[in-house]
Structure 1
Amino acid sequence: MFSIIQAAGWPIWPLLLCSVVALALIIERLINLRASRVAPASLLDEVLSVSQAQLPTPDVVGKLAENSLLGQVLASGLRVAAAEPRAAEARLRQVFELAGRGAIHQMERYLNTLGTIAAAAPLLGLLGTVVGMIEIFGSQSPSGNNPALLAHGISIALYNTAFGLIIAIPSLMFYRYFRGKVEAYVIDMEQACDRLLSLLLVRAGQGAAR
């Protein structure tokens, strides 16, 4: 590997930095975009069953917010419902929307950086290719060619192009994969908020009737 890096020349160092950053971001997103951290499967049913008889206590709501991103969104609505028993539907929807935006921001963290690396890596590889071609032409002389400089220029051109593609392809694949997961989680959160909102509106109507 070290001999390849030496053969590729200085243009490969930015690519190596991109590869390290991309790998770190992919691992971080794989950990933090798990369903258990974003939207556990049984969380909504548990919240609805607990809230059916009466609203959860502040301690329970606090634990719900610490559970996951979905828990944070649902907890925001429960807090407003507890503080404002007769809160209007528009008020509750606004609270859910604001909390949802915060959750989406957390889910999309670092994805722009990963997408930038996927787009920039081939360009950095192309830069290495251009540098290699410059060295190839620079090695030409009227008296004859220098085989060592010619081989070095070809190495820079080919290694950097290949390494740029090696970084860009998996980065782009994981970027698209994470985008798809975020979109799926957003839909799940919207449906969960609608179901909890319906329950809170029913409770508010019952409270007003009393």
Structure 2
Amino acid sequence: MFDLLQIDTLQKAVAMPAAAEKISLWSLLEKGGWIMYPLYLLLIAAIFVFIERLLAIRKASRIDPNFMNIIRDNIVTGNVTAARSLAKNTNNPVARMIDKGIQRIGKPIDAIEKSMENVGKLEMYNMEKNLSILSLIAGIAPMFGFLGTIIGMIQLFYGIASSGQFTLNDIAGGIYVKMITSGTGLIIGLLAYIGHNALTTQIDKTANKMESASAEFIDILQEPTR
């Protein structure tokens, strides 16, 4: 009976410190070593690029629902100057594309479409600018994390081989610490990937608006003037 009580007391004494031991997220990240600093830089770059592109794309996608109606009315009534003034003073990709089309009025439809298409491609390029950075971060952040884990594992097993002394706790503790960089890299890569796809979706929506406005403008040009 006494032996059983002794064993139970020892088990509780061992379990209590383990249960009481807690570690903050920041302290956990600090254990990742120097490789965490490049990962922090990648995270900051991803956040900066995402916010900057999100604001720019949202600004580009803001289009007055009545814009094309006003353009139609002005062109059909022969008031091309007013249509040009409206398009020129409206700051979004659709307006700049329509402005180029208005400048080409009087030329063949194919030439007008080609000019507007060129402007549309330039606007798409401007919206997609720096998106490649997010794509790059999504690819290299997990690789940086994995590199940190490999370096840490090499150091761990080199230390074990050099000292010749190790315990299961030492190995388990060393492995979980080295896995921190891999986990952080995967999370950063995932966030960058999600951000890239979210921005691409917004750009596609704006591109659809541009295509719709271009087709509508060509239809306007083929309507009889009043």
User: Which residue in 2 is equivalent to 1:46?
Assistant: 70
Native 8 Å contact 2:74 2:80 kept in 1: yes
CA deviation map 1:6-50 (0-9, x unaligned): 31111111111110000001111221111x532515132332233
Displacement of 1:202: 3.5
1:55 paired with 2:80, answer: yes
Displacement of 1:101: 0.4
Displacement of 1:186: 1.4
Structure 1 unaligned residues grouped into runs of 5+: none
Aligned residue pairs total: 198
> How do 1:98-137 residues align onto structure 2 when only pairs under 5 Å count?
98-137=118-157
- TM-score if structure 1 supplies the norm length? 0.83
Native 8 Å contact 2:93 2:123 kept in 1: yes
User: Which residue in 2 is equivalent to 1:37?
Assistant: 60
- CA distance in 2 between counterparts of 1:184 and 1:73 reads 16
SS in structure 2 at match of 1:77: helix
User: Which residue in 2 is equivalent to 1:198?
Assistant: 219
Structure 2 unaligned residues grouped into runs of 5+: 1-24
Counterpart AA for 2:86: V
Displacement of 1:52: 2.7
- CA distance in 1 between counterparts of 2:31 and 2:173 reads 7
- CA distance in 1 between counterparts of 2:62 and 2:215 reads 15
- Counterpart among 169, 186, 192 of residue 171 in structure 1: 192
User: Which residue in 2 is equivalent to 1:92?
Assistant: 112
User: Which residue in 2 is equivalent to 1:189?
Assistant: 210
- CA distance in 2 between counterparts of 1:135 and 1:167 reads 25
SS in structure 2 at match of 1:29: helix
Counterpart AA for 2:130: Y
RMSD: 2.6
Displacement of 1:172: 0.8
User: Which residue in 2 is equivalent to 1:26?
Assistant: 50
> How do 1:73-84 residues align onto structure 2 when only pairs under 5 Å count?
73-81=97-105
Displacement of 1:155: 5.3
- TM-score if structure 2 supplies the norm length? 0.77
Counterpart AA for 2:88: G
SS in structure 2 at match of 1:28: helix
